[in-house]
Amino acid sequence: MRRREFAKFAAVGAIGAVAAPAVARAQTTFNWKMTSFYGPNAAFYSTGPGSAKDLISRIEAMSNGRLKIQFYGAGELIPAAEGFDAVSSGTVEMNYANSYFWTGKSFAAQYFTAVPFGLNFQGFNGWYYDGGGAQLWREVYDRFNLVPILCGNTGVQMTGWFRKEIKTVDDFKGVKMRIPGLAGRVYRELGVDARLIAPGEIFPNLERGVIDAAEFVGPFLDRQLGLHKVAKYYYTTGWHEMATASELIVNKAAWNKLPNDLKAIVENACAACNVISEAWCQKNNAEAMEDLVKNQGIIAQPLPDDVVKALRVATDRILAEAVAKDPVTKKVHTSYMAYKAKYDAWADLSEAVYHNKIRRA
């Protein structure tokens, strides 16, 4: 009897010894830093529903304070464009931005923000959550010691603001334009002098004539920058960014130290902000566009069909070249386009019917 009792207590002790580190880990408080590509008070990206600061608040509340994150806007701790490297090296644990800023690291990163003539918000979510997109994104970033998570979306963006009317492809030649990502490369094919300029510098550059045109996001945020005061032609064709995703990147080593429940909290807070941020854009863009047209004298119109066709040809050529050069890009491209083909066929029978017929009935 004594031997059996001893064995029972020994087994319980062994279980306790194994469980103790897990319990301690679950009770640990983590204090992290998050940097951003955007300024500390940037609407949508840094402040407001679904923003980086909103994401931080949700994580802290859901974790009951076990994961605390200090936010640093662009320039407050590191320059805007150094977030990727800072998280990769472990200097900070997190960074908030858009993946297409890192195409110099991997061209495949473009697909996780927006691809010209690509998926819309619903389609991108389908590919990311259920079509293999999330797994591919992690695979692409794994060699950089990063864990990427989708955490926001603007929905469709506008072509941008132009000082002069665009009637033909030739009207692009010599135009100096602020435009990031793959779209900038596409415009260069058509003679545009594409430039990457920080958001806060767009208005003064457009006002002084340093640039002739600019793309930012959509009616609300564009109006906030004052772009309507220095350019009257607002082209609405969102060919370049049908749904512009925001990313949270986490240092892989730091991520692996989190207990599973905190990982789940981060992922679910990101999913919430993805939906909430896009909803915020829909509401505010509708109101801002009405104001711009009715009260600010803006000429809002789609690009001419021939211009859109030329942009499509240039896009297809650039993507084909990238796929041919890099097997990683080819793998992501193949997955993205295969999903898009199926989604487009379904959207033609669902969303398109609503937009083209039902809402006009």
Q: Which residue matches tokens 């003539």?
A: 117
Structural contact between residues 93 and 127, judged by C-beta atoms closer than 8 angstroms: no
Residue 291 lies in a domain: no
- The CA distance from 335 to 354, in Å, is 27
Same domain assignment for residues 126 and 111: yes
CATH number at residue 206: 3.40.190.10
Same domain assignment for residues 71 and 135: yes
Same domain assignment for residues 54 and 133: yes
Same domain assignment for residues 149 and 161: no
Give the pLDDT means over successive 10-residue stretches in the chain (361 positions). Answer: 48 49 68 97 96 98 98 96 97 97 96 97 98 98 98 97 97 96 94 91 96 97 96 96 97 98 98 98 97 97 97 98 98 98 96 82 76
Same domain assignment for residues 64 and 192: no
Q: What is the per-residue pLDDT for 352? A: 86
272, β-bridge pairs: none
Same domain assignment for residues 206 and 310: yes
Following DSSP, what letter does each residue of 6-34 receive, concatenated?
A: HHHHHHHHHHHHHHHHHHHHHH--EEEEE
Residue 335 lies in a domain: no
Same domain assignment for residues 38 and 143: yes
Ramachandran area for residue 55 (φ above 0: left; ψ -120 to 50: alpha; else beta): alpha
Same domain assignment for residues 147 and 64: yes
Count of structural domains within the chain: 2
Q: What is the per-residue pLDDT for 200? A: 85
Q: What is the per-residue pLDDT for 7? A: 47
Domain that holds residue 77: 30-153+245-283
CATH number at residue 127: 3.40.190.170
Q: Which of 225, 258, 283 is the last residue of a domain?
A: 283
Same domain assignment for residues 34 and 140: yes
Same domain assignment for residues 161 and 149: no
Q: Which of 258, 283, 308 is the last residue of a domain?
A: 283
Same domain assignment for residues 127 and 259: yes
